[in-house]
Amino acid sequence: MATSGPMSTTAGSGSPRPLLVIVGPTAVGKTALSLYLAEHLSGEIVSADSRLFYRGMDIGTAKPTPEERARIPHHLIDIADPDETVGLAMFLRLARAAIADIHARGRLPVAVGGTGQYVRALVEGWTPPAVPPDPALRAELEEQARREGPQTLYSRLVALDPDAAARIDPRNVRRVVRALEVALRAGSAERGRTPPPYAILQIGLTMDRAALYARADARLEEMVRAGLVEEIRGLLEKGYGWDLPAMSALGYIQFRPYFEGRATLEEVLAQIRRDTRRFIRHQYNWFRLSDPRICWFDGARTSPEEILASVQDWLGEGGLSIPYASTQTVPLRGR
């Protein structure tokens, strides 16, 4: 059932305001659920998917369509060009500002994303150092990785900042380089934590793995029909090179050998399917089914109406009324 006007987001003086978070792997249905819940709860969507930040990268990122964005206000989409960088510190600053603005207008912020680090940083109140990129240092570290192998860089990060290293896949050279860059300049690639001023409900969407892979494959085919190849060609023609972080995104970088004449389209699509499966497994490392802070729903067996009823129960009649501390990420009652 829909609410009749803006939802009250306070529960008495000094009480934390609610933040609904929807997490889960790619292709599981987060966008559709977020639109449904936002429509019924006077919500606005805050993207926590790093691939959606960049203008002109629409098809390959499964960005919400203009029609969907007209239905519900969206924040942190199309905020940078592909040759710009939106790092964690910038994301947190913009996301927190958007959430405060949404609360100020008496509406419910709904953070949605598959970028695990960004979601966790938001709900756990990370305060990363705001260190601007250092192109010279980054080039030096990348050259070291090419010369000596990625493990050398990772071992260096372990020595400098073991907490940061524990959160990074050693094979992800780009993230290892960035963490080292920050650690060398700021002394720590990690961060302190300040409990966020929200009462947080995290909803996780999951699905049988084979069914999820099939959905991802079907979505890839639809992207190609919708003009994915042409979208990437247009980005290259505008001068956006393969070395840009934005162009390293899943569904884009795999096309490099195709455009360089080293692979067929079918070979590229096969590689994307394999990499998507690997990416889904990686996302489940961030969003663990055993995490008690996340209330998981099977996207194939649970209706949006059931999830809505659970969220309404959590919010309580007349606004957020449950007595949880602002430092908690709370589970659904009776689930």
Distance CA 4, CA 13 (A): 23
Give domain status of residue 11, yes or no.
no
Same domain (yes/no): 216, 204: no
Structural domain range at position 280: 209-284
Same domain (yes/no): 203, 310: yes
- Number of compact structural domains in the chain: 3
Chain segment 105-143, per-residue pLDDT in tens: 999 999 999 899 899 999 999 987 767 778 889 889 999
CATH number at residue 254: 1.10.287.890
Average the pLDDT over each of 58-67, 160-169, 170-179, 217-226 and give the range with the smallest value: 160-169
Same domain (yes/no): 218, 305: no
pLDDT of residue 266: 98
Give domain status of residue 217, yes or no.
yes
Same domain (yes/no): 179, 294: no
Distance CA 24, CA 206 (A): 6
CATH number at residue 38: 3.40.50.300
Give domain status of residue 279, yes or no.
yes
Same domain (yes/no): 107, 174: no
Chain segment 244-283, per-residue pLDDT in tens: 989 999 999 999 999 999 999 999 999 999 999 999 998 9
Query: What is the DSSP secondary-structure string of 157-217?
Result: HHHH-HHHHHTS-TT-HHHHHHHHHHHHHHS-SS-EE---SEEEEEEEEE--HHHHHHHHH
Same domain (yes/no): 215, 204: no
Distance CA 126, CA 5 (A): 33
pLDDT of residue 7: 35
Same domain (yes/no): 235, 279: yes
Distance CA 76, CA 111 (A): 10
Same domain (yes/no): 121, 82: yes
pLDDT of residue 179: 82
CATH number at residue 165: 1.10.20.140
pLDDT of residue 132: 75
**Contact call for residues 129 and 169 (beta carbons, < 8 A):** no
Give domain status of residue 114, yes or no.
yes
Give domain status of residue 148, yes or no.
yes
Give domain status of residue 12, yes or no.
no
Same domain (yes/no): 68, 178: no
Give domain status of residue 300, yes or no.
yes
**Residue 197: closest CA among 96, 279, 265, 266:** 96
Q: Has residue 21 got a pLDDT over 90?
A: yes
Give domain status of residue 1, yes or no.
no
Distance CA 234, CA 57 (A): 10
The amino acid occupying position 255 is: F
Same domain (yes/no): 25, 103: yes
Chain segment 153-205, per-residue pLDDT in tens: 988 888 877 767 776 778 888 888 888 888 787 655 455 788 999 999 999 99
